[in-house]
Structure 1
């Protein structure tokens, strides 16, 4: 009887230990624990961190970053990188704003902005695959090209979306609601779009064959080709997803603050996006990452910035601390890769 009981219990214990080790071994677990510790520290050291208004404010502040980070997750997992997203963000937002000012409706303006983002993503993908250029170089060049196109499109002048410049009052109200509106006068629309992007990104990455191909291509392009996967097509689609989501963020930014300038909008944004994804556990070497980890990475960056502001830390010190967080995250990524290889 004792032996039978032992035989019955042992598999359950083994499964429990195995499940626990997989959970604790997941990179998202470490990111989540860091996020919880950070929130607990801020809750104890500041009076306003846990207020509903502040939490919703943090959610709104990280939403545009988060939307683009979802797209960057696809690109990084596929083994590539995109440095042009800040310029794409500016081009799409300014394009949509100019369409509104020119008298077009909300739908055509959004379609124009999204089309610009998809086109940029497609060009980046083609240059990085069929063009045989390293994505770092291809997107670095495209970053300047897109910024130049935006400057030419606007003649270097600010774009302000208002009725004085020609926007239809009804169209303008609808457009601004996308960025400034709140559901039930509480939840910011930007946060809603971030949640939708994260859910759709999670489904696409974790529950579809395209997501499987993304991981396969990033893990080993040669093995993916042998398995019959069109590596170039998968990478191109990853860049297209990135371009589309950068355009969504740019349009929402223009809808929130209906003014922008091609020479300033989105400058340096790509670094924050890449940092959030890497902090969330995605590997710069490709083949690993998750939407959950990206969301946690975005929240860590947002909560850290918010906490530093609430603590009265100067903006200059904030930049130093954010930079240190990025360095530590990348270092952990590289060390983990080396440990797995050895």
Structure 2
């Protein structure tokens, strides 16, 4: 039988130990964060490019990199929600194309900018809703459900456009004032300096961070991805959480597609957004999200997007051929994910 004094002493030791852990936890969290390795690799890459190229650190080039990764980043924010929930979405490239082309066609039909954009966003959210329903109540693996939806959506886009390119201009029926406003969303610059696409990416990242880190919905996303059974026992509607994750993904994929059409007001259903889903998933995984669900962060996703964008930009500035670029980027993704898996195993002992 344990003496009262011993019990009290043991309790005091545990309390002091916990207090010590609380005192060092911020630094421990920083050093142990999964984003730390990506951030260090990003800094090393930037330093290398700054030393080996003359134009990398110029303001114009950095802003250009920001614009180039913006659409990828917006979709990667949505994919973060889906991956953390334990699912995956392969239909985002097709959704990107369908929503952008739909918004462009509506503008050429005489619609104003706001209703045309709203229609495109609703279309993306509808796709996300269908994906969510198929993956939850339909009991289909999300990999299969969204792979099938990718073909369905691409086919709908082809039927909608009759396989012809969609070009948004005055000659095709767009109102000059409406067209100017629409193009400003993709081509404009804040203070004649910061690209509008980059502004939208920053806004999407901030909203995504707030939703994932500061709301009960974000908590439920992590709970569902970590253990659906435990989440269900805790009273969380697992199916509803996953469906909403897909809806967020569909909305952001649609937003990226509309911004793409506003930047380059021409697209074709059979080509626009093809293969984009692989780049998005790669960026999120490089940023530390787990394909098994339950882990990831908006900060990590942003770092993953920047890592891929800076790497592509650096290879171009270094004069590396496009074919070699694809090989090198693929290797970087494989190495980054392998290091991440290794670090997790070491942490778990």
Q: TM-score range by the shorter chain?
A: over 0.9
Other-structure match for 2:204: 197
- Cα deviation for residue 21 of structure 1 reads 2.5
For 2:153 and 2:49, how far apart are their aligned partners in 1?
Answer: 40
Q: Deviations over 1:228-283 (max 9, x none)?
A: 00000000000000000000000000000000000000000000000000000001
Question: What residue in structure 2 maps to residue 167 of structure 1?
Answer: 174
Q: Indicate yes or no: 2:86 matched with 1:74.
A: no
Residue 231 (str. 1) matches residue 238 (str. 2): yes
Q: Give matches, 1:293-312, under 5 Å.
A: 293-312=300-319
Instruction: Pick the aligned partner of 1:143 from 137, 150, 153.
Output: 150
**2:187, 2:262 within 8 Å by CA — same for their partners in 1?**
yes
Q: Which of 167, 182, 188 is the aligned partner of 2:189?
A: 182
1: CA distance, partners of 2:46 / 2:210: 28
CA distances 1:148-207 after superposition (whole Å, capped 9, x unpaired): 000000000000000000000000000000000001100000000000000000000000
Query: 1:281-320, aligned counterparts within 5 Å?
Result: 281-320=288-327
What are the superposed Cα offsets for residues 121-162 of structure 1, whole Å, 9 maximum, x if unpaired?
Answer: 000000000000000000000010000000000000000000
Instruction: Find the partner of 1:117 among 103, 115, 124.
Output: 124
Deviation of 1:327 after TM superposition, in Å, equals 1.4
Per the normalisation by structure 1, the TM-score is 0.95
Which contiguous aligned blocks of 4+ residues in structure 1 show a shift greater than 4 angstroms? 10-17, 336-342
Contact 1:283 1:333 in 2 (8 A): no
Mapped partners of 1:291, 1:31: distance in 2: 13
Q: 2:133 corresponds to which residue?
A: 126
TM-score (norm 2): 0.93
1:23, distance to aligned residue in structure 2 (A): 1.2
Unpaired runs of at least 5, structure 2 = 1-16
Aligned to 1:206: 213
CA RMSD, 1 decimal: 1.8
Change (3 A) 1:341 1:259: same
Partner of 1:222: 229
Report the equivalent of 1:27: 34
Shift of 1:112: 1.1
Q: CA deviation at 1:47?
A: 0.4
Q: How big is the shift at 1:326? A: 1.7
The equivalent of 1:250 in structure 2 is 257
Per-residue deviation, 1:37? 0.7
In 2: Cα distance, 1:126 partner to 1:339 partner: 37
CA distance in 2, matches of 1:14, 1:239: 38
Deviations 1:71-94 (A, max 9, x none): 000000000000000000000000
What residue number does 1:269 align with? 276
Answer with 12-21 or 274-283: which moved more. Answer: 12-21
Match 2:48 to one of 17, 41, 61: 41
User: In the alignment, which of 156, 169, 178 is matched to residue 163 of structure 2?
Assistant: 156
Quick check: 2:34–2:340 contact (8 Å CA) kept in 1? no
1:29 is displaced (CA, Å) by: 0.9
Q: Which position in structure 2 is the counterpart of 1:329?
A: 336
Cα drift, residue 339 of structure 1: 4.9
| Residue 97 (1) aligns with residue 115 (2) | no
How many Å separate the matches in 2 of 1:130 and 1:336? 36
Distance in 1 separating the partners of 2:173 and 2:334: 47
Aligned length: 335
User: Which string of whole-angstrom CA distances, capped at 9 and with x for unpartnered residues, describes residues 41-98 of structure 1?
Assistant: 1011100000000000000000000000000000000000000000000000000000
